[in-house]
Amino acid sequence: MGELKIAPRYWYGQINKKNKTMKTVSMSGSLRANVGKKDAKALRNAGLVPCVIYGGKEQIHFSTPETSFKQIVFTPDVCFIEVELDGKKYLTILQDIQYHKVKDSILHADLFELHEDKPITLSVPVVYKGSSPGVLAGGKLVKSTRKIRVNALPKNMPQTLEIDLSAMEIGDMVKVAAMETNNFTIVDHPSTTVCLVKTTRNVVAEETPAEEKK
């Protein structure tokens, strides 16, 4: 997990060098001898999902129980998927998934094979920790960006980008341009606002009497 610390009034931040890398979920399956529609229908009737792995020397067709996707699709987290087929393992990410329009069951899944020496780009969730003094003083935290695109080798891809709010006062903001990283690159435009603490009517109402006394 990356950690971003904010200095009041400045667009500054630094990702923790000890960021938590992307988690990996294990999946086992069976190679498909036939890849026709009839075979795919038979697999679905048996509670299995037809899948394809792209990105390698050749496409790999296999099937896996639908329950294998429970930790992958029913969570806001991003993850790698290690698929084991006939004793061989493939590190992948979920590229696309198709659902039944009525039953909401999984019809098909496409996975993309990853390679240790080839960087990839993923949208990584932004998470927040700590209490903002600006919010405690009546300001409002605006989370402008929920995910940030990160380019990195698979081993360096962070699970999340964590922003520490403990020093953010009213008027402070975080922009992509100020986020310093160690072993990965942020792809989003530098001017993109990640979050900010803005003033509210309550804050203005409290400040007005003090100004009038002057």
CATH number of the CATH domain containing 70: 2.40.240.10
Mean pLDDT of 203-211: 56
| CA 193/CA 171 separation, integer angstroms | 13
Look up residue 163 and give its two tokens.
Answer: 């922003």
Whether residue 92 sits in one domain with residue 11: no
Whether residue 132 sits in one domain with residue 71: no
What CA–CA distance (Å, rounded) separates 55 from 114?
A: 7
Q: Which pLDDT belongs to residue 181?
A: 81
Q: Looking at 94, 113, 132, which one is the last position of a domain?
A: 113
Query: Do 87 and 169 fall into the same domain?
Result: no
Domain end (from 87, 113, 139): 113
| Domain identity same for 197 and 133 | yes
Residue 28, sorted as left (phi over 0), alpha (psi -120 to 50) or beta, turns out to be: beta
Per-residue model confidence as pLDDT tens digits over 35-67: 889 999 999 999 999 999 999 989 999 999 999
Q: Summarize pLDDT for 60-118 with one digit per residue, the tens.
A: 999 999 999 998 998 888 899 999 999 999 999 999 999 999 988 999 999 999 999 99
In terms of domains, do 91 and 9 share one? no
Cross-strand partners of 195:
143, 174
9 confidence band (pLDDT: 50, 70, 90): very low
Task: Judge whether 114 and 55 are in contact, CB under 8 Å.
Answer: yes
Same domain membership, residue 187 and residue 165? yes
Residue 14 in this model has a pLDDT that exceeds 50 = no
Closest CA to 43 of 70, 60, 69, 63: 63
Owning domain of residue 166? 2-21+120-213
Is the backbone of residue 64 left (phi > 0), alpha (psi -120 to 50) or beta? beta
pLDDT of residue 201: 74
How many structural domains are present in the chain?
2
Helix (H), strand (E) at residue 42:
helix 37-45
Confidence of residue 212 (pLDDT cuts 50, 70, 90): low
Q: Are residues 12 and 70 in the same domain?
A: no
**Span 166-192, mean pLDDT?**
89
70 and 8 together in one domain: no
d(Cα 118, Cα 50) in Å, to the nearest integer? 27
Based on the fold, state whether residues 153 and 93 are members of the same structural domain: no
With a CB cutoff of 8 Å and minimum separation 6, the contacts of 123 are 78, 147, 148, 149, 150
pLDDT at 32: 94
**Confidence category of residue 133, pLDDT binned at 50, 70, 90:** very high
- What average pLDDT is seen over the chain? 86
pTM of the model: 0.80
Quick one: what percent of the chain has pLDDT higher than 70?
Answer: 85
From 98, 113, 128, give the residue that closes a domain. Answer: 113
